[in-house]
Amino acid sequence: MRPTERRPVIGFLTDFGLDGAAATCRGVMLSICPDAQIVDIGHTIRKYAIRDGAFLLRFALPYFPMGVHVGVVDPGVGTERRPIGIRTGRGDILIGPDNGLLVPPADALGGIEEARELANRDLWLPSTTSTFHGRDIFAPVAAHLANGDAGFDEVGPAVEADTLTRLPDHQATTSDAAIDTVVTYVDSFGNIRLAGGAEELHAAFGDIEDGAPLVVEFGAPPLLETTRFGSTFGAVPVGASVVYIDSLGNLAMADNQGNLAARLGIGHDRPVRISQG
């Protein structure tokens, strides 16, 4: 039995969409752990976009109670990619595919303490398929852990943390009064997240103040946007763009009450250079 009376919290993110697959997984979890509090982080992220899923898990989970959390963005389902669990420094357990999805949130939750391959079939559904491990493996393993009827050491053999798949790192580099970076994420408002944060901003521009003019050059194809630095959206007029530091500490850019990504046609992985205007 669980040591506390608190309802176990399970954070849950997939790219399944809204047509019932996530609800089927919730049904599996609630069948095993009836009092689980399942918090849906999102199911409408871009399909197969492992990096988007990793970003959102990293964004959300530090604000969750400690728990067992499930992430399924799994284009390699049923291939040789491993199903894994990660125990974090904070004590959470992250469950999902070994494709890089779980590493950024694990880093945000105190790092990887221990990783295991989900090989113990006693914790899976009795019958499994090769195309729906969310339902057949990840949901039941997470629910057994949340319910306290299995310990993390029972999910399967330990694997070395340095054998886990990691997403290629996106880096920002600073030079004389400029930052070279890349679009890492586009949110539903059309705000873009860039590699780097306050450190790079200050390295390039010193103590930058609200309203400081900046020039943003998007690469391939080239596109120029004159803009300003601001502490928040409303620091610039409605419809104008602003470079800011987002609530996670990322370098970011948005239109005040507009959709910057749509207006400029900006997508993931677009190179970006920010310099003084």
Partner 1 sequence: MAQPFLTFLTDFGDTAPATCRGVIWSILPEARINDLTHGTRQFGIRDAAFLLWSSVPYQPVGVHLAVVDPGVGTERRPIAIQAARGDHLVGPDNGLLMPAAERLGGVVAAHVLDNRALWRAEAVSETFHGRDIFAPVAAHLAARTPIAEAGTEIDPADLVPLHFPQPVMADGALSTTVLFIDAFGNCRLAGQPTDLASLIQRERPEAGDRFTIRIGESSLEVPWQPTFGAVPPGELLLYEDADYAGLAIGVNQGSAAARLGLVHDAPIVIEPA
Q: Is 27 in the site for partner 1 (CB under 8 A)?
A: yes
> What letter would DSSP give residue 253?
E
Binding segment for partner 1 among 17-25, 142-150, 199-207, 244-252 (CB under 8 A)?
17-25
Q: How far is the CB of 31 from partner 1 (least distance, A)?
A: 5
Q: Which of 23, 158, 177, 238 binds partner 1 (CB under 8 A)?
A: 23
Q: Which of residues 79-138 bind partner 1 (CB under 8 A)?
A: 79, 81, 129-132, 135-136
**DSSP-based three-state secondary structure for 119:** coil
Q: How far is the CB of 125 from partner 1 (least distance, A)?
A: 8
Provide the token pair at 25.
């997984």
**DSSP-based three-state secondary structure for 244:** strand
Q: Which of 2, 20, 121, 239 binds partner 1 (CB under 8 A)?
A: 20
Q: Which of 34, 211, 234, 271 binds partner 1 (CB under 8 A)?
A: 34
Chain position carrying tokens 């400690």: 66
Binding segment for partner 1 among 61-69, 75-83, 170-178, 268-276 (CB under 8 A)?
75-83
Between 76 and 258, CB nearer to partner 1: 76
Q: Is 157 in the site for partner 1 (CB under 8 A)?
A: no
Q: Which of residues 185-244 bind partner 1 (CB under 8 A)?
A: none
**DSSP-based three-state secondary structure for 230:** coil
Q: How far is the CB of 143 from partner 1 (least distance, A)?
A: 11
Binding segment for partner 1 among 58-66, 73-81, 143-151, 211-219 (CB under 8 A)?
73-81
Q: Which of 5, 19, 169, 176 binds partner 1 (CB under 8 A)?
A: 19
Binding segment for partner 1 among 21-29, 104-112, 217-225, 262-270 (CB under 8 A)?
21-29
Per-residue exposure over 77-105, b if at least 16 CB sit within 10 Å of its own CB, e if not: beeeebbbbbbbeeebbbbbbbbbbbbbb
Radius of gyration (Cα) for the chain, nearest Å? 21
Residues 277, 148: Cα–Cα separation, whole Å: 57
Residues 84, 63: Cα–Cα separation, whole Å: 23
Give φ, ψ of 55 to 5 degrees: -60, -45
**Which of 180, 227, 179, 183 shows the shortest CA–CA distance to 203?**
179
Q: Give me the helix-helix angle, 139-147 and 21-32, nearest 10°.
A: 30
Chain residues binding partner 1 by CB under 8 A are: 16-21, 23-28, 30-31, 34-35, 47-48, 75-79, 81, 129-132, 135-136
